[in-house]
Chains A and B, each alone.
Chain A
Amino acid sequence: GAVVSQHPSRVICKSGTSVKIECRSLDFQATTMFWYRQFPKKSLMLMATSNEGSKATYEQGVEKDKFLINHASLTLSTLTVTSAHPEDSSFYICSARGEPSDQETQYFGPGTRLLVL
């Protein structure tokens, strides 16, 4: 199946700093990528839909100025957590849509664990 990577796999930062997380589709082009957040023992929560060359679509309750998403190419989307606070500590997962005829529909990255001190 197709491969989606995320970088970094884990990051620790100080409160007030910004952190950028990269999501790459390694062997296919993804016009749409999705960003999720997952707290311990909880399910994945969709944050936003990232479309190549256009503005991201954010889910209700997700601050777009807090979580900046850029999808500058067909293989890369970035999520920047601005002015991070301890409550932003979470597991962030991206996914990328494969070819329309692909049964697997969405390929998920390995996730990025963010810890804000």
Chain B
Amino acid sequence: LAKTTQPISMDSYEGQEVNITCSHNNIATNDYITWYQQFPSQGPRFIIQGYKTKVTNEVASLFIPADRKSSTLSLPRVSLSDTAVYYCLVGDSPNTGFQKLVFGTGTRLLVSP
């Protein structure tokens, strides 16, 4: 399973765009990149998933360069409620059966007024 490296923490202010980068140098050909959000005392919540280039949904964008050795989660105009831990995971493909998820350290995002 590919190992991921993220910044331990990030600080931002309300209304700003936040970009969290994750490194996954040994990502496999079939691996997808998935980001989860976790609030204190809650289970992780799916944010976005991608394989290559750019993926956008109603809450975030995911940028993946051609070599796929890193990815960047972009949160537009964050609010106080976006304060959480964000996990980047690789290796769980939606179409090739079960693979276990291995969580890294995550990035603790603090959004201030």
Q: A52 to chain B: closest CB distance in Å?
A: 12
A32–B100 Cα gap in the complex (Å)?
A: 10
Q: A77 to chain B: closest CB distance in Å?
A: 14
Near A by CB (< 8 A), chain B positions 16-72 give 32, 34, 36, 41-46, 49
Which bracket fits the contact residues of A? Answer: 20 to 34
**A95 and B43 contacting across the interface, CB-CB below 8 Å:** yes
**A1 and B105 contacting across the interface, CB-CB below 8 Å:** no
Q: Within the complex, which residue of A43, A91, A93, A103 is in contact with B49, where a contact is CB–CB below 8 Å?
A: A103
**Dominant SS among interface residues on chain A:** strand
**A106 and B103 contacting across the interface, CB-CB below 8 Å:** no
Total contacts A to B, CB within 8 angstroms?
62
Which bracket fits the contact residues of B? Answer: 20 to 34
Binds B, one of A14-22, A67-75, A78-86, A109-117: A109-117
- List residues of chain B with CB within 8 A of the CB of A106: 46, 92, 101
- List residues of chain B with CB within 8 A of the CB of A101: 94-95
Q: Within the complex, which residue of A1, A46, A93, A100 is in contact with B95, where a contact is CB–CB below 8 Å?
A: A100
**B103 and A43 contacting across the interface, CB-CB below 8 Å:** yes
> Residues of A at under 8 Å CB distance from B?
1, 4, 6, 32, 34, 36, 43-46, 49, 91, 93, 95, 97, 100-111, 113
